[in-house]
Structures are given as C-alpha cells and as structure tokens.
Amino acid sequence: MKNIEEIKTMVREKYAAIARQSKQQNKTSCCGSGSCSSEVYNIMTEDYSSLSGYVPNADLGLGCGLPTEFARIKPGDTVVDLGSGAGNDCFVARQETGSTGMVVGVDFTPEMVEKAKDNASKLGFDNVSFIQGDIEQLPLNENFADVVVSNCVLNLVPDKGKAYKEVFRILKPGGHFSISDVVLEGNIPDRLRQQAELYAGCVSGAVTKSEYLSTIQNAGFTHVDVQKYRAIVIPDDILSNYLSKEELAQYREGVFGIFSMTLSGVKPN
C-alpha cells in the first residue's frame, strides 16, 4: 500500500507525462494512462462537442462525464474547476458565465497549468485563470465560488473527505457543485484496484457509491442529487490482465462493476 505522498507523486508524474502527450495518445488510452486496449477509443470519456464554448484543443479526453452540462452556471458566476487539465471545462464554463463572470482552474500538475494558460492566452480570455494547487488544501479563500465543477479528478485524491470539505469551504452559502467521478459497486478484486497505471487512469482511487455519497453528506452538503449514472465498460483485454476467469465471469454478470457518476450538492445558506 502506497502512502499519501507516494500516491500524489505518482499522480503528478503521470499527469505531467499526459500533458506532454498528443491529444490522440490520450484519447486512445484509459484516462490517458497508456495504450492499454485495442478494443476501445476511450473507456471513460464522454463527447463534449455539443456543448457551447467547447475548445477541442483543450480536451485531452481524460474525463468520465460532462459536469458543466449539469452545473447550472449563470452569467456573472464565479466558477472553480478542480483538476482543470488543459482547460476544457473552464472554457465551457466561461461560455456560461460570460464576460462578467470569472473562471479559475486548479490543477496539481505544473505542466497542465502551463498548457491551460497557453490555451487561454491563444483564445484571448482575460477572465479565465489557472493556478497550481492541491485539492486537499486549495489556494482559494472561503466563500469564493458560486459553482465548483470537476471531471474525474476527486477519485484520484487520497483523502476525499478533506477534498469535499475544501469544496464546501470555497463555495459561497447557497453555492453548489457539479462533479463527475468514478465509483465502484460490489467487491472489486484488489488486483484490479491497486495497479498504479489504473490509479492514474481513474480506477484504483475510486470508492464505492455509498461511501462517496456519505463523504459528501459528511462534508455538510445538502440536496445531493445524482444527475447521471452509467456503467464503464472495460474490455476483456484489460480485465484479463487482472482477473481470473471466474472473476471475469462475475464482472460480466454484474456482481461488481465500475461506474461514472455525475452528481450535485448545495452548501446551505
């Protein structure tokens, strides 16, 4: 079992490498973690192309949902994107906030921050900024944001309870979040959960759906609502590396599984 700092170092190094890869390399992988399957284009990601403000060059194909689609962002809002990558969700959010709003992307990896800043500069956006920071200790003031979004990132954070308390802290009273993440159901075999490349690729850091929802409620959020829930279909050429034939049969029967969940919650007034 890796300690917290080892996990953070591994994630930072992995996403630094992803930042240096081409978009095509990322989109033919498991959340950017490597060309691990010949059967899929991308396991997790959903199609952003129908959303206003979408910037293809900022989409690294690393998400597992469309949180900004459900985020109810209004003109003039201050929006924070946790794990902002190359800026994809920030630019979609900026379309909703308009020129009177503000969007701040926070990412753990310096290479990602620089990539996002470069994209924003090319687009001429002066109300979108990017900063380096740890989600467990965000470099933002309390009561800062109207809306927090995140796409397939909080599952990578070792202390999810601390992360959601930070989301609660930076939200204004009455503010809300819309977050997409990976959750588990059933008893996932340890070999599938603990592989390093799967951790940086969105699977091994995940917890059960019930544990995830409890973490959010314990952080103080109300009106917690699951907006979208779908099964992640992992091809056999990946699963066979980690599961026995019996376990593979159980996976196919739905005894256990990996899911994408988009959900929202409100910070009480």
Q: What confidence score (pLDDT) does residue 2 get?
A: 60
Q: What confidence score (pLDDT) does residue 69 get?
A: 95
DSSP 74-104: -TT-EEEEET-TTSHHHHHHHHHH-TTSEEE
Q: What confidence score (pLDDT) does residue 253 get?
A: 87
Task: Give the Cα separation of 83 and 113 in Å (integer).
Answer: 10
Q: What confidence score (pLDDT) does residue 96 get?
A: 97
Residues 144 and 102: beta-carbon distance below 8 Å: no
- At position 222, the amino acid (one-letter code) is T
Q: What is the pTM of this model?
A: 0.85
Q: What confidence score (pLDDT) does residue 136 get?
A: 95
Nearest to 232, CA basis, from 183, 160, 180: 183
Nearest to 180, CA basis, from 85, 248, 94, 116: 85
Q: What is the pLDDT along the chain (269 residues), one digit of tens a residue?
A: 467 777 677 766 676 667 666 555 555 444 444 444 444 335 667 889 889 999 988 888 878 899 999 999 999 999 999 999 999 999 999 999 999 999 999 999 999 999 999 999 999 999 999 999 999 999 999 999 999 999 989 988 889 999 999 999 999 999 999 999 989 898 888 777 666 455 445 566 788 999 999 999 999 999 999 999 998 877 787 788 888 999 989 888 888 888 899 999 999 99
Long-range contact list for 186-192, CB < 8 A, 24+ apart? 186/254, 186/255, 186/256, 186/257, 187/255, 187/256, 188/256, 188/258, 189/242, 189/243, 189/247, 189/256, 191/242, 191/243, 192/239, 192/242, 192/243
Assign domain 4-266 to a CATH class: alpha beta
What's the per-residue H, E or C state across 126-172? CCEEEEECECCECCCCCCCEEEEEEECCHHHCCCHHHHHHHHHHHEE
- At position 251, the amino acid (one-letter code) is Y
Task: Give the Cα separation of 67 and 44 in Å (integer).
Answer: 14
Residues 151 and 64: beta-carbon distance below 8 Å: yes
Q: What confidence score (pLDDT) does residue 39 get?
A: 40
H and E: helices and strands count for the chain: 10, 8
C-alpha Rg value of the chain to the nearest Å:
18
Tokens found for residue 228: 């979208």
Dihedral of CA 251/44/67/230: which sign? Answer: negative
Q: What confidence score (pLDDT) does residue 199 get?
A: 46
Tokens found for residue 268: 């009480």
